[in-house]
Every structure is written in C-alpha cells, then in structure tokens.
Homo-oligomer: A and B are copies of this chain.
Amino acid sequence: MTTRGFTSDNASGVHPAVLAALTAANEGHAPSYGADPLTAALEERVRDLFGADAQVFPVFNGTGANVVAVQALLQRWDAAVATADSHMVNDESTAPQLVGGARIVTVPSVAGRATPELLAPAFDAYDGTVHHARPAAITLAQSTELGTTYTAAELAALTTFARSRGARVHIDGARLANAAARLGATLRELTTDVGVDVLSFGGTKNGLLLGDAIVVLDPALAEPVARLRKASTQLASKMRFVSAQLLALLEDGLWRRNAAHANDAADLLAARLRPLGVEPVYPVQANAVFIPVPPAALPAVVADAPVLAWDRAAGVVRAVASFDTTEEDVDALVAALGRHF
C-alpha cells in the first residue's frame, strides 16, 4: 500500500481527524439506525450548512446515494435526464435499473456540463402520453465527471429550466466539496439557494473511511429517501460511525480544506505538465486532470503511472488528486508520464 495513486480519489485513506472522530465515537453503546447523538449532531450541522429545512441521510457509498436520491424523484413511469458522460450512466453497472427499475435518458454535455439547451430536447421529445417515460428529474454532477464545475448562476439557470419543465433537480455531489472549494462558494450557495431538491454529498472521496450522505432540501422527499435508503440496502445499523465521519468532515471546514488541497494538487499537476507541451483535455476546475497521451502509448502509460485509462481510443488518461496528495506525488507522476510524451 505504498503506491501513491492518481487513478481516483478513492485510492487515498482516511484523514487523521476523521479517524480520530471514529475512535471518539467508539464510546460505549448507542442506539442504532440513526437514533444516536452523533447522527443528531450531524443533522444539526447539515441544517447549519444547507438551511433549516435540510435533512441528512447517511449512506454507505456514492452508488447508493445516487440510486436512492434519484429514485426518490421518480415514479415508476418516469425518467431522469443525465449527461451521457455521467458516472451514474457509465460506472454503476445496472444499479439504477436493478434497484427499482429507474430509467435514465441521456443528453450530450459540453466538457461534462449540461445546459438548458442541451437538456431541452429530452423534454421536448416528451408528448405527455403514456408511451413515453415522463422526464421528471435531472441529475447533474458537481463537480462533473470530467472535472469541470457549474457556477451558482449556471445551476440556477438549470433548476429554473427544470422547474419550467416540471422536473426536479438532483446533484451528484460526490465531489461537491471540490467544486465549492474551487468556486469559493458555500455548500448552500451551490444547492439550497439555487433550487436543488436533493443531493448526494460525497465523503468517501474526500477523506472518509467510507460514507456519503443524501441531503434532502425539499422536505417532501424525506419520506421516500428514508424508505428507499432501507429498501435499497443502504441503511447502516451502527450509523453513528458513518455520522461521526461526516460530522468530522463538516465541522471546522475540513471538507473544504481537504477539497482545496486536492484541487491545488491538480492545478500543480497541470502546471507541471504545461512545460512538457501537455495541455489538459478539459479545464481543470476541481481535482481531476484529463491528460492527452498518444493512443499507442496509453497502455505503457497506465502500466507505468498510477493514472486511469480514460479513453483508449482517443488517448486520454485521468489523474485525480486526493486530500493527501503531495508535491512529491505530483513530481513522481510527471516524471512517470514524461517518459511517454
């Protein structure tokens, strides 16, 4: 376990403050399934950060958070609209379909980002009849699967658009912290204040041992989320240990410091690549850098450097920085990559 990885921000471990919080949480017995004081404290903290109506539902992982949150927005005859390059569409096997039968309709993106114009055809195609799944929700990743971000204004335009079409809005925030850190925004400014209905809030990729959360901003969604969390196998019995981690992340701005650190490392990587004549494929707006490599060299690159083969045909690898990525890690990566340019 000595390889310092850039394949994903799930290669890193647990932030010391989170581990300390876990140890502290291991005091005696506690009520299960969320009736414990740490979960209550987390709920309070989430209200502070997202607004008085916000409700938090800790889950095990991002797959679970996304599947439960999106299903809570859909009736069984509805579809969610997502960009074709999104994680939920490409990297969750059949989870959205197997767990309750959700239908996802895809639209193109610009560098991972949806716009009202890109989304509109998915709604225009719906004629209101039973023959067609009703587009009842849009799900957007912030930061996106391609390492880009939405500004608050862009999000407001998207939620306004969605609402004008009778649709609700879910944010896949596995890396929301990275976006907020990059944009200098609060979590609330990127969610509650722009009309988001429900979001997945990522912890696993930002220094937790494991744990993510669904944050419900429209109180009417609390019941479906609570029920579907259980029915989708995502309810933790010893929930205090998930809540303790999330609380540690949300207290004292650790979420932002961790994310900013990863963002900075991604910037550093991009900066170190530039002198080699290498420009990222997408703007580096969070903690991921998509690096062009000659397609023929890609297999050697991924054998040699701890990056992910993103697009073998086009020749793109992905490097994602973590909360604990060091300058030495970046230098070592650049050295490994440099042998192949």
Which residues of A are interface residues toward B (Cβ below 8 A)?
1-5, 7-8, 10-14, 19, 22-23, 25-33, 36-38, 60-64, 67, 71, 75-79, 90-103, 106, 121, 124-125, 130-134, 204-205, 209-210, 224, 226-238, 240-242, 306, 312-313, 322
Contact = CB atoms under 8 A, between A and B. Distances in A.
Given A61-B236, A63-B233, 19 more contacts: A1-B30, A8-B237, A11-B29, A11-B30, A12-B29, A23-B23, A29-B322, A60-B60, A62-B237, A63-B235, A77-B93, A77-B230, A79-B94, A92-B230, A93-B130, A94-B101, A97-B101, A124-B313, A210-B238
A43 B229 CA distance: 29
Contacts of A64: 233
B130 A238 contact: no
A235 B29 contact: no
Contacts of A234: 60, 233
A240 B1 contact: yes
B29 A130 contact: no
Copies in the complex: 4
Given A102-B97, A238-B13, A230 B130 contact: yes
Contacts of A103: 94, 96-97
A33 B205 CA distance: 13
Given A76-B98, A131-B91, A235 B61 contact: yes
Per DSSP, chain A at the interface is loop
- Closest 10 CB pairs between A and B? A77-B227, A10-B237, A130-B230, A64-B233, A60-B60, A13-B26, A1-B30, A97-B101, A11-B29, A5-B29
Contacts of A94: 76-79, 101, 103, 133, 231
A140 B297 CA distance: 36
A102 to B, nearest CB: 6
A61 B231 contact: no
A296 to B, nearest CB: 16
A10 B238 contact: yes
A71 to B, nearest CB: 7
Given A95-B232, A228-B76, A241-B210, A23 B19 contact: yes
Contacts of A11: 29-32
A108 to B, nearest CB: 11
A234 B77 CA distance: 14
Contacts of A79: 94
Which of A7, A100, A106 counts the most B-chain CB atoms under 10 A from its CB? A100
A231 B31 contact: no
Given A1-B28, A75-B224, A209-B22, A130 B235 contact: yes
